[in-house]
Amino acid sequence: MNKIFKVFRYAGISLIIIAITSIVSCLFTAIDNYRDGVIAIKLMESNAKHEIRVLNNAKFTDSHIGVYEFKPTMAQAIILSNDGIGEIGAATLFYLILGLTILIIANKKPSSLENLKQERLWQIVGAGAVLFFILKFLSKFLLDGYIEELTNHLFKYDYSNIGNSNITMLSLIVVFTIIYELLSYSRKLKQENDLTI
């Protein structure tokens, strides 16, 4: 059982390290943008008329997407670097919360892991997924509002680059699978120990 708790602790520490590494990486990029005196973000016109042209039985739609460059303050550089805090902020905060929660449970309440039932485990996994999506939508909402205020409601943030979101979703699936397997293995070992006694 001690090996399982060690693995559980290492998983928590790994999530915290991933979160801290993401934060440090974003800070370095933000500092570079601040020092350079320019930041460029992809925006879309808020109330633009989409012009549709037909070319050889195909349609071309002008989406009015462009790059908005300006001299940022340090706070603006932190918020808007690396495709905006809406892209990585929610995942980073989620990994930090999850890692700290895992460490607290592993260190302070290890008996709660031994007595964990499968139904309760699925409730915890579901609550974690809900927390992630709440953080994701909250960061998107705050970033959208910030961009609208920054540009006097002329532009909105362009979310056409969804590659990071796919990687985040894949990371979440991996994290939840690892946690579930660890807890399942932990319960199996406990049952084997109870049978040998």
| 128-153 per-position pLDDT tens digit | 889 988 998 898 899 889 999 999 99
3-state class (DSSP) for residue 61: strand
Tell me the average pLDDT of the chain. Answer: 81
Neighbouring-strand partners of residue 43:
66, 157
| 53-91 per-position pLDDT tens digit | 888 888 888 778 888 999 999 999 999 887 667 667 888
- pTM, rounded to two decimals: 0.76
Q: How many domains does the chain have?
A: 1
Domain residues for the domain of 53 are 2-196
The pair of structure tokens assigned to 122 is 């699925």
| Mean pLDDT within 165-181 | 67
Contacts (Cβ under 8 Å, ≥6 apart) of 53: 59, 60, 62
Do 175 and 8 form a contact (C-beta atoms < 8 A)?
no
